[in-house]
Amino acid sequence: MRVTNPLVRLTTAAAIALSASLASTAVYAEKLKIGYIYPSPVGDVGWAKKLDEGREAIEAAFGDQVESVVVENVPEGPDAARVMNQMASSGAGMIMIGSFGYMNDGLKLAKAKPDMTFIHASGYKTAPNFGNFQTRNYESAYVAGMAAGQVTESNTLGVVAAYAIPEVIGIINTFTMGAQRTNPDINVKVVWLNSWFNPAKAQESARSLAAQSADVVFSLYQDTPSVVTVAEEDGFYVINTSSDMKKYAPTKLLASLTIDWGPHFVKQVQATLDGNFEGTAYWGGMADGAVSVSSLSDDLSAEQKAELQGVMDAIASGNFHPYDGPVTAQDGSEKVAAGATLDDGSLLGIDWLVQGVETQLPN
């Protein structure tokens, strides 16, 4: 079942509640009902699509043992709280919470429902029955940055970013450091959209960056292919996140940073079924295949691709970390000393940009 919009959502919520009250006496348990709540519609590509592929992986692994309730395009705030509460009261045993901003409402529900389990995308709070999951996209962003440094002729790279949250900042930093590795003169410009979802504005931002001589634009957490299609049209390279978007820019896609939630989701469902779920913070990277770089452009030479592959192997094996020191912040202060590596805790709360990024943080 999938519900798309406010009005239907309300009526469906009522229907869920009604069917739950009817059904609760008849059948209970055995089948694990899993609720999925997404911040945007499930499209052809993008964030919600990747989460939904995680759901498909669960259904493929558990078949009749699980039942899915999907509600997409839910605004963060009271709507999200209501949708999650409805899922809980309609007998869901587990909820996959698909957006950072649902965190506090989800956690509140988790505390009220100790029998249920929760997995939350990209948050930082946990409880015994409330785990979170993220991917180390900064790893793939580093590799994409290297590729951008290899192809740029203007030495100017652009980033179209949603909000300045730690995850996004951390990615912009490694993208910049990767580019500096292959091209020391790199200069990175960022446009903050202050919106998770505004395809037209994302496209305008990409064009404005191209007009300011950026010849590679990084479409960071933009759910639609808006930036990718305009790159193909206007002729600048583009890098995107979440899904592979090669088909939207066959000649201008430099790389797609893809993610795969499937294996982690399946493990969490198994733990819920077995009764040994632990609310942990999962941070998947290249090492466990949760993060990868796909559709590297054929404009890169074999040597360049080999250089990228070498770094990917080093990241996966743990021999190299994109935040290996020395790392210098925008203001010139040394954030990571030579020989040291930024720890996960600091990375999760990162609030500084590295040297080479021209744009300031919007604070």
Partner 1 sequence: MNDTLVFILSGTLAATVPLLYAALGELVAEKTGMLNLGVEGMMAVGAASGFVTVALTGSHALGFAAGAGAAMLVSTLFAVVTLFFYANQVATGLAIGVFGLWLSAAIGKAYEGTTVNALAKLDLGFLSDLPFFGPALFQQDIMVYGSLVVAAALWWMLARTKVGLVIRAVGESPVAAHALGYRVRLIRFAAVAFGGAMAGIGGAYLSTAYTALWADGMVAGRGWIAVALVVFGSWILPRVAAGAYLFGAISLLELSIQGFGFNVPSQLLSASPYIITIVVLALISRNPALIHLNSPMSLGQPWKPSH
CB 245 within 8 A of CB 44: no
Closest distance of CB 126 from partner 1, Å: 29
Dihedral (CA of 167, 169, 166, 330) sign: positive
- In this chain, which of 84, 97, 191, 293 binds partner 1, going by CB under 8 A? 191
Q: Which stretch binds partner 1 (CB under 8 A): 50-58, 59-67, 93-101, 195-203?
A: 195-203
360 near partner 1 (CB under 8 A)? yes
Closest distance of CB 140 from partner 1, Å: 21
- The contact pattern for partner 1, residues 6-25, with x = CB under 8 A and - = no contact, is xxx-----------------
Site for partner 1 in 205-224 (CB under 8 A): 205, 207-214, 223-224
Give the C-alpha separation, 184 to 186, whole Å: 6
Q: Name residues whose C-beta falls within 8 Å of residue 106's C-beta, 6 or more positions apart in sequence.
A: 84, 95, 97, 118, 120, 130
CB 187 within 8 A of CB 358: yes
Q: Name residues whose C-beta falls within 8 Å of residue 131's C-beta, 6 or more positions apart in sequence.
A: 117, 118, 119, 120, 268, 277, 278, 279, 280, 281, 282
310 near partner 1 (CB under 8 A)? no
- The contact pattern for partner 1, residues 69-108, with x = CB under 8 A and - = no contact, is ----x-----------------------------------
Closest distance of CB 41 from partner 1, Å: 4
How many residues at the interface with partner 1, by CB under 8 A?
51
309 near partner 1 (CB under 8 A)? no
295 near partner 1 (CB under 8 A)? no
248 near partner 1 (CB under 8 A)? yes
Tell me the two tokens of residue 114: 């100790």
- In this chain, which of 12, 86, 182, 229 binds partner 1, going by CB under 8 A? 229
Site for partner 1 in 38-57 (CB under 8 A): 40-46, 49
Residues that bind partner 1 (CB under 8 A): 4-8, 40-46, 49, 73, 158, 164, 189-195, 197-201, 203-205, 207-214, 223-226, 229, 233, 248, 358-360, 362-363
